[in-house]
Amino acid sequence: MTEKRFPLSKARLEAICAEHPTPFHLYDEAAIRENARGLKKAFAVLGDGFKEFFAVKALPNPFILKILAAEGFGADASSLPEIALALKAGIGGEDIMFSSNDTPQAEFAAALRAGAIVNLDDISHIESLAAAGGIPELVCCRYNPGALKQGNAIIGKPEEAKYGFTRGQLLEGYRGLEAGGAKRFGLHTMVASNELDPEYFIETGRLLFELVAELSEKIGIRFEFVNLGGGIGIPYRPEQTAVPLARVAAGLKSAYDEIIVPAGLSPLKTYIECGRVVTGPYGYLVSRVIHMKDTYRKYVGLDASMANLMRPALYGAYHHITVLGKEEAEPMETYDVTGSLCENNDKFAIGRRLPAVEVGDLVAIHDSGAHGHAMGFNYNGKLRSAEFLLREDGSVVEIRRAETMDDYFSTLDFARLDSFEAGERHGR
Ligand SMILES: *Cc1c(COP(=O)(O)O)cnc(C)c1O
């Protein structure tokens, strides 16, 4: 069981909303920091070599990245803008893991300029990397275990996933990288997303440790790290439980002691690149009820839409909803909670039991701290919302302003439109 509590009272949130219009995402700094420290503590059993590279795509806000960097995290970037964002937040060099796929050559060049650890997704990328600026001293390859490993609902089966090298390609790839001048090596895999079973990550670690042993022996190279990727899930539903990170770490440690130590391959660092478990539970989409509708079902219409948080519409994902001021009220009604897009799947919840809702109520949609604002879009002319940080002293600061219509139009040239000859209508 996981308690789903919004960190502020209704009165405090109303005061914030009097200054900042809904909808917006609100992130809880104290909770993010406490969780970051808890994560590091849980994995401390793996020694100094453990490091988390926060997956920038989950919450690409430089204020958040700066907080996480202060807590000792690096950044996992997958594109040139994400590398630039990490650099702006003061994260550079080997504190950036560049895990991308189908990578444009210019992005390899940017990663090399930043001194990032380049994690290759495909054997053909060795040539692109060489052409982009040369094979660096430290390089990593992403493994796809294929049918060896079962996938899960979001990421699918590994053998159907587009990511990574096959085992055979890894042998050839590392040989090629070594011939090209690489001296330090990492091995990466990521085979799950939003996975709650701790055994899953232990098995993944075991698989990587065994592969490191095999590759080290066959190729004669020394591995510096394994990167288990991201994918640690969070309890979106109150009846779910957070992944026991200490259990994962202890399982990884035994696998390490069993496989890596006797093979003489220690020290080998353990990296992860999680996003969701780091910030997910500490973000809330705050929205106001602007419309109630009673037809074949009862609808609660919000001023937010799937353009602000698309996980429910995209994956049918559950996001808990708190109606402010009605936290203790009985859930007596059943509603579909909707946004205003001209898309029938623009629903935050379907058939959700909630206390009786009225127009004007404020709601907090939980667990928007990862893959929330970041997945936002402008369909139907919806503008991206602001992001706020609830600081440890209780103050609230804007860490990204809301888009305006001018932002929405900023890529259009209306001066050219005025002189644009549309010509006569077709089908005269
Ligand atoms: C998405 C992604 C992550 C982060 O995933 P979470 O589920 O947020 O932990 C890490 N690494 C890679 C390569 C990814 O694609």
The full DSSP string for 39-86 is HHHHHGGG-TT-EEEEEGGGS--HHHHHHHHHTT-EEEE-SHHHHHHH
The yes-or-no verdict on residue 271 having pLDDT over 80 is yes
Average pLDDT over residues 51-79: 98
Regarding the beta carbon of 164 and ligand 1, being less than 6 Å apart is answered no
Is the backbone of residue 28 left (phi > 0), alpha (psi -120 to 50) or beta?
Answer: beta
How does pLDDT run across 335-373, given as a tens digit for each residue?
A: 999 999 999 999 999 999 999 999 999 999 999 999 999
Task: Quote the ligand 1 centre to 57 CA distance (angstroms).
Answer: 8
Alpha-carbon distance of 8 to 241, in angstroms, equals: 23
Probe target for ligand 1 pocket from 57, 141, 142, with the most ligand atoms within 8 Å of CB: 57
Task: Quote the ligand 1 centre to 119 CA distance (angstroms).
Answer: 13
Probe target for ligand 1 pocket from 78, 118, 122, 195, with the most ligand atoms within 8 Å of CB: 78
Residue 362: which residues within 8 A CB-CB, separation 6 or more?
Answer: 10, 13, 14, 17, 22, 286, 287, 288, 289, 323, 324, 325
Active site residues: 342
How does pLDDT run across 298-323, given as a tens digit for each residue?
A: 999 999 999 999 999 999 999 999 99
Alpha-carbon distance of 68 to 279, in angstroms, equals: 10
Regarding the beta carbon of 312 and ligand 1, being less than 6 Å apart is answered no
Task: Quote the ligand 1 centre to 145 CA distance (angstroms).
Answer: 17
What does pTM read for this prediction?
0.96
Per-residue confidence (pLDDT) for residue 191, from 0 to 100? 87
Per-residue confidence (pLDDT) for residue 423, from 0 to 100? 84
Contact at 8 Å (CB) between 37 and 71? yes
Alpha-carbon distance of 236 to 390, in angstroms, equals: 21
Strand residues in 79-208 grouped as ranges (E): 96-99, 117-120, 138-143, 184-189
- CA max distance for the chain: 82
Regarding the beta carbon of 56 and ligand 1, being less than 6 Å apart is answered no
Residue among 232, 79, 81, 83 nearest 155 (CA): 232
Regarding the beta carbon of 275 and ligand 1, being less than 6 Å apart is answered yes
Domain 29-278 -> CATH class: alpha beta
User: Which secondary structure element, helix H or strand E, spans residue 7, and what is its range?
Assistant: none
> Do the first three CATH levels of 29-278 and 281-409 match, i.e. the same topology?
no
Alpha-carbon distance of 301 to 217, in angstroms, equals: 61
Task: Quote the ligand 1 centre to 257 CA distance (angstroms).
Answer: 27
Domain spans in the chain, listed from the N-terminal domain onward? 29-278, 281-409
Per-residue confidence (pLDDT) for residue 106, from 0 to 100? 95
CB atoms within 10 A of CB 37: 12
Atom of ligand 1 nearest to the CA of 58: 8
Cα separations in angstroms, 206 against 102, 213, 248: 27, 11, 11
The two three-digit tokens of residue 82, written as one number: 């994400």
How does pLDDT run across 192-201, given as a tens digit for each residue?
A: 899 999 999 9
User: Which secondary structure element, helix H or strand E, spans residue 177, and what is its range?
Assistant: helix 167-179
Task: Quote the ligand 1 centre to 416 CA distance (angstroms).
Answer: 41
Probe target for ligand 1 pocket from 274, 314, 367, 368, with the most ligand atoms within 8 Å of CB: 274
Average pLDDT over residues 137-162: 81
Domain 281-409 -> CATH class: mainly beta
